[in-house]
Structures are given as C-alpha cells and as structure tokens.
C-alpha cells in the first residue's frame, strides 16, 4: 500500500520576537492585500466612481464586517453547546484564539458594510457588490489553504490516489476503525486513514475557479446584478457539493437524512439568491465606467 501524503505543517510561519505569526493569519492578510490591489486597479479603470480614499474606507469596513460577522455567526450557529453562551459566557465571543469563523457570517458582515458605505456615497448597493465580488475569491482560496496548512476541516475517508492523512483526525480515525475492519487495517499500516483533502477542493473551486470566472466576466461592464449573482450561485453550488466529502463540524454532525450539514443549509439561500440576481440582470442597466 502506497504511503499517502501526511498533512503535518507547522502552523507558525515565523516569529517576531515573542510573537508567533501563523500561516492562517498570513493567508487572511494576503487575501486583504490582494483584494485591495485588484480593487484599486478596477477603480482606476473607472469601474466604480469613487476616490482612492473612499475605496480604502470600503476595504476597511469590509474587513471589519468579515471579522465581526464571521465570528458572531459562528458563535450563533456552530459554537458547541449552542447560543447559551449569550447569557452564560458572553465573553466567549471575544475568545478568537479558540478558533471559529463562518464564511456566511463574514458575507453578511460585508453586505452590511457595503450597504452602509454605498448609502454614504450615493451609489447603488449592487453596483458596489458587483465591483467587490471578483475580489473576494482570492481571500476565500487563501483561507482554505490556511485550513489545509492547519490540518483542519478535513474530508471523509477515501481510496482516491490523492487522499491524504490528517494527524489531527487521529481520534476520529480510531473511532471509524473500531467499526470498519478495512479502515482498521489502513490505520495500522499507514498510521492514519487517508481522507479527501476537502480544503484543497474548496481552494480550487471557491478560490481559483470563482476568481477566474468572475474576473473574466467582469473585465468589461456587465448589467447590474450579474456578477453578484454569479458569485452567490457559484459559491452556493460549490460549497453544497463539497460538503458531501467534508466531515461536518463534530458539535453539529448531520442535521437530517444522514448527509445534510449546516454548511449546505446556509448555502441553499445563496443558490436561490444567485439565480434571482442573474435573472434580474437581464433587464438591468449597465454601469458605464467613469472617464478619468
């Protein structure tokens, strides 16, 4: 039996004195920087009629929206023990070192920030979102790469040639091997059960594919709602599909039928919204690039 690749990286990229800089944090930083640079490029092309300072404000508010929205949403829907922390341990919201961020919550945070910013600058909300949407997949892909480096959010057991061993899943491996002799043999021979590298699947689809499609589509002016709709539709479909090979959060498990996960439930509205927005774009106006 060929030895699969073992996902065992040091989550700390480097030290600055006593401060540890983690790869996951670097991925977030690179995502923000990349989105900022690409956003400024699109602004100079006249794709959103605002100043550089105004765009910087949008980036700052969006960053806050991702952090606050992602954390609050995780605590409401994914936190072990449910939302009782609100009255039993409200300070748990701020214990970010324990982990826990949600994409769907971060998306809501960005939507709120973009709505408020658009209102201040008298822009149509969806003109702003059509501008922002192609910039987001870069951060999504890098975030999933950070998950992979951390050896977290692994997939289900697989006999695919590219399946990998995740040492952090050892406890789960032992439980599975207890009931399945074939998996017990793999655990004994390989030191772990090969699994789908679901983080890399998400990096490829939510990051590379979505970025390529949205960037190419938005290279020339498109009707309002189209780019935002494609973003919602693609992310919802990709996330829903990958959940079939990704192990659900242990504190939640499957919600129904032995396969439905919280990630799938929260992705369904995105699919519906995406279809509606794409349909609306057929009769929507196109924002004409500002001439400098």
Token pair 């789960």 in the structure block, residue: 172
In 25-141, where do the E strands start and end? none
- DSSP H helices, 102-224, are 103-120, 125-132, 136-150, 170-179, 181-190, 198-202, 210-217
According to DSSP, the β-strands at 12-16 and 5-6 are unpaired
In the chain, where do the E strands start and end? 5-6, 12-16, 19-22, 164-165
In whole angstroms, give the CA distance from residue 37 to residue 139.
12
Q: Residue 220 has which token pair?
A: 């020339």
In whole angstroms, give the CA distance from residue 130 to residue 111.
12
Instruction: Please state, as a whole number, how many other Cβ atoms lie within 10 Å of the Cβ of residue 201.
Output: 17
Q: Is 222 annotated as a binding residue?
A: no
Binding annotation: 144
């Amino acid at each position: 039996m060929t030895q699969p690749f073992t996902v065992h990286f040091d989550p700390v990229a480097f030290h600055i004195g006593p401060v540890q800089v983690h790869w996951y944090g670097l991925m977030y930083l690179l995502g923000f920087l990349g989105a900022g640079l690409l956003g400024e490029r699109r602004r100079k092309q006249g794709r959103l009629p605002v100043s550089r300072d105004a765009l910087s404000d949008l980036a700052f508010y969006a960053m806050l929206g991702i952090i606050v929205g992602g954390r609050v949403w995780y605590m409401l829907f994914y936190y072990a023990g449910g939302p009782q922390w609100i009255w039993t341990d409200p300070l748990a919201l701020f214990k970010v070192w324990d982990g826990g961020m949600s994409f769907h919550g971060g998306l809501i945070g960005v939507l709120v920030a973009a709505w408020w910013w658009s209102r201040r600058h008298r822009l149509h909300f969806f003109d702003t979102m059509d501008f922002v949407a192609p910039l987001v997949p870069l951060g999504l892909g890098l975030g999933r790469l950070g998950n992979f480096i951390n050896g977290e959010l692994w997939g289900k057991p697989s006999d695919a040639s590219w399946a990998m061993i995740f040492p952090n899943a050892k406890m789960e491996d032992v439980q599975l091997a207890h009931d399945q002799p074939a998996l017990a043999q793999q655990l004994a021979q390989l030191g772990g059960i090969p699994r789908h590298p679901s983080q890399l699947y998400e990096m490829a689809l939510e990051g590379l594919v979505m970025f390529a499609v949205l960037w190419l589509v938005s290279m020339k002016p498109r009707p309002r709602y189209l780019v935002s709709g494609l973003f919602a539709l693609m992310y919802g479909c990709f996330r829903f599909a990958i959940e079939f090979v990704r192990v659900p959060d242990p504190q939640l498990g499957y919600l129904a039928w032995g396969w439905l996960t919280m990630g799938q439930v929260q992705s369904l509205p995105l699919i519906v919204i995406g279809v509606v927005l794409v349909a609306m774009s057929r009769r929507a106006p196109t924002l004409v690039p500002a001439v400098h």
